[in-house]
């Protein structure tokens, strides 16, 4: 992690979400079907965008995503929501965005 605590990679971000997401939100997220995750773009996704500052072009995670062709904060956060959902379900992580 780099100052001021920004995650540098996708894996770093998922680890950070373990500490940031409250237990009740984890339970809610776990209860959703994978096909319902897109609706979290304006709830949990927005909170992730703000907390990880995915709108900042100089944030390492934003740069990591942009280098892989994902340049919109909404897309970045939903990729993180999907991956975190898989983690909560004990599933193998999907491949990181290319």
Q: What is the mean pLDDT of the chain?
A: 89
pLDDT tens for residues 40-72? 988 999 999 999 999 899 999 999 999 999 999
Q: What string of H, E and C letters represents the secondary structure of the chain?
A: CECCCECCCHHHHHHHHHHHCCHHHHHHHHHCCHHHHHHHHHCHHHHHHHHCCCCCCCCHHHHHHHHCCCCCHHHHHHHHHHHHHHHHCCCCCCCCCC
Per-residue pLDDT, averaged over 2-20, amounts to 84
What integer pLDDT is reported at residue 1 of this predicted model? 44
Write phi, then psi, for 6 (nearest 5 degrees): -70, 140
pLDDT tens-digit profile of 27-43? 999 999 999 999 998 89
């Amino acid at each position: 992690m780099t100052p001021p605590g920004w995650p540098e990679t996708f894996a770093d971000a998922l680890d950070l979400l373990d500490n940031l997401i409250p237990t009740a939100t984890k339970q809610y997220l776990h209860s959703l079907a994978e096909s319902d995750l897109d609706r979290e773009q304006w709830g949990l996704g927005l909170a992730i965008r703000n907390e990880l500052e995915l709108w900042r072009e100089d944030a390492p995670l934003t740069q990591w995503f942009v280098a892989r062709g994902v340049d919109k904060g909404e897309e970045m956060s939903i990729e993180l929501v999907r991956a975190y959902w898989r983690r909560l379900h004990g599933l193998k992580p999907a491949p990181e965005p290319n």
